[in-house]
């Protein structure tokens, strides 16, 4: 991770780091609003266009697949041209994806809608680097807080996104078209925020500069391996359950407005703890915070299996959000402290490619489990939540293994 610029006075470096965090918080809030918007209606729109109900969540899966496929190229692009250029490309990808998705809705073309979803993944991939960018100019003591504050910017997206869905989803003759047009506007306006970002481009390494470890060597580092596993499980399970939630809520007889309210509560729970997650990590360490996140994810599945009343959906999705926050931010902080600055682009791209690859599989599985694993909506919803068990076991075992290893002297 890049340290504070040694050519700047300490006060100037701290001011720049805080300004960068403020810009990234605003981007997380405004540009990030498109993700709860699309995740709220993507499955419902897919269900209306897909030739088979089992493919209802395929549009969301394609978003995550696009994010996975572009994580490494965007990381390399940022390493060469800087964060500002990479984030601008991400916003343009989001606008293009929404435009093609809107055209797919107008023409009732599932294939076009899927193409738009795939390109939307460019934005999702770029957004994943906001948290790393926050740490680029931060001091060691400010780094966990910087990451946490940027994630807290999602509170605004949790409010803006689902409320825009309520206003736009049925605002036009073609269902959901208004939502996709709103997403285009969000990307075009939000891209202007990056003009104020001040993160130096990484220096071009000299021929004799250390090249860092290879990807396989990085994966053999115990801390990096466990951080990636815990981030992967936290994000994939959150996505597995969240993707099916609107289908389950509507399928159980509640309206689209109720589905949007549940998603709002979930996204608020994802980001609200970020105001203090960094402080908790600084006090108790990453291992304990990640472990708490995994326990909360398990509790979310337990509540979901207790019934399909609206309060069950709210309770499960709130715990799911908090569990993701502790698990994912904790794992991100663990990863940020486990590599050298010159390994930044390689390890961050590797991390996000693996994480979003598993999230892609989770979102693909979500639709199949929800619509095709049982005889009715309740059985499908139960199958989604039971599927969390083996992955939580994997992450928990990895964390215990890391904790029991002898500490390096």
pLDDT average per 10 residues of sequence, the chain (409 residues): 50 84 93 90 86 82 87 86 94 97 95 95 91 81 80 83 88 92 96 92 66 79 92 93 90 86 88 83 91 97 94 96 94 83 75 82 83 83 94 95 77
The confidence score (pLDDT) of residue 210 equals: 66
Task: Record the pTM.
Answer: 0.75
According to the model, what pLDDT value does residue 205 have?
62
Question: Which pLDDT score is estimated for 191?
Answer: 96
Burial 234-262 (b: 16+ CB within 10 A, else e): bbbbbbbbbbbbbbbbbbbebebebbbbb
| pLDDT on residue 91 | 97
Q: What is the span of the domain harbouring residue 258?
A: 10-201+214-404
Establish if 185 belongs to a structural domain: yes
Report pLDDT for 206: 64
- Give the pLDDT of residue 398: 95
Q: Is residue 1 part of a domain?
A: no
Buried b (16+ CB within 10 A) or exposed e, 322-360: bbbbbbbbbbbbbbbebbeebbbbbbbbbbbbbbbbbbb
- The CATH number given to whatever domain includes residue 180 is 1.20.1250.20
Q: Report the number of distinct structural domains present in the chain.
A: 1
Flag whether 4 is in a domain: no
* 173 in a structural domain: yes
Q: What is the pLDDT of residue 408?
A: 56
Record the tokens describing residue 324, joined without a space.
Answer: 């993701």
The predicted pLDDT at position 409 comes to 43
Considering the domain boundaries, does residue 5 fall inside one?
A: no
């Amino acid at each position: 991770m890049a340290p504070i610029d040694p050519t700047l006075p300490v006060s100037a470096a701290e001011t720049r780091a805080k300004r960068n965090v403020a810009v990234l918080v605003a981007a997380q809030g405004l540009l990030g609003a498109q993700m709860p918007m699309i995740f709220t209606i993507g499955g419902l729109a897919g269900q209306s266009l897909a030739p088979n109900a089992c493919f209802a969540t395929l549009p969301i899966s394609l978003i995550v697949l696009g994010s996975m496929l572009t994580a490494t190229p965007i990381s390399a692009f940022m390493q060469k041209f800087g964060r500002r250029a990479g984030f601008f490309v991400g916003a343009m990808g989001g606008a293009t994806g929404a435009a093609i998705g809107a055209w797919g809705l107008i023409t009732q073309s599932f294939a076009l809608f899927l193409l738009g979803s795939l390109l939307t993944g460019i934005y999702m991939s770029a957004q994943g680097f906001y948290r790393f960018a926050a740490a680029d100019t931060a001091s060691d003591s400010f780094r966990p807080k910087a990451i946490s504050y940027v994630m807290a910017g999602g509170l605004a997206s949790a409010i803006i996104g689902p409320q825009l869905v309520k206003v736009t989803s049925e605002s036009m003759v073609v269902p959901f078209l208004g939502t996709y047009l709103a997403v285009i506007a969000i990307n075009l306006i939000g891209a202007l925020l990056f003009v104020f970002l001040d993160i130096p481009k990484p220096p071009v390494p000299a021929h004799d500069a250390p090249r860092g470890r290879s990807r396989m060597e990085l994966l053999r580092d115990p801390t990096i391996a466990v951080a990636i596993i815990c981030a992967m499980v936290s994000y994939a399970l959150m996505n597995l359950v969240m993707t099916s939630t609107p289908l389950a809520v509507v399928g159980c007889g509640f309206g689209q407005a109720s589905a949007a309210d549940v998603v709002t509560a979930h996204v608020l729970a994802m980001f609200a703890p970020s105001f203090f997650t960094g402080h908790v990590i600084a006090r108790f360490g990453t291992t304990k915070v990640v472990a708490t996140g995994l326990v909360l994810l398990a509790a979310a599945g337990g509540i979901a299996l207790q019934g399909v009343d609206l309060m069950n959906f709210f309770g499960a999705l709130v715990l799911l959000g908090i569990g993701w926050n502790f698990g994912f931010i904790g794992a991100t902080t663990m990863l940020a402290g486990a590599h050298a600055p010159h390994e930044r682009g390689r390890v961050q791209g590797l991390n996000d490619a693996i994480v979003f690859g598993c999230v892609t599989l989770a979102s693909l599985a979500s639709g199949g489990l929800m619509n095709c694993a049982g005889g009715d909506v309740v059985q499908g919803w139960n199958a989604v939540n039971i599927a969390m068990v083996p992955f939580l076991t994997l992450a928990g075992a990895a964390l215990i293994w890391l904790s029991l290893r002898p500490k390096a002297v």
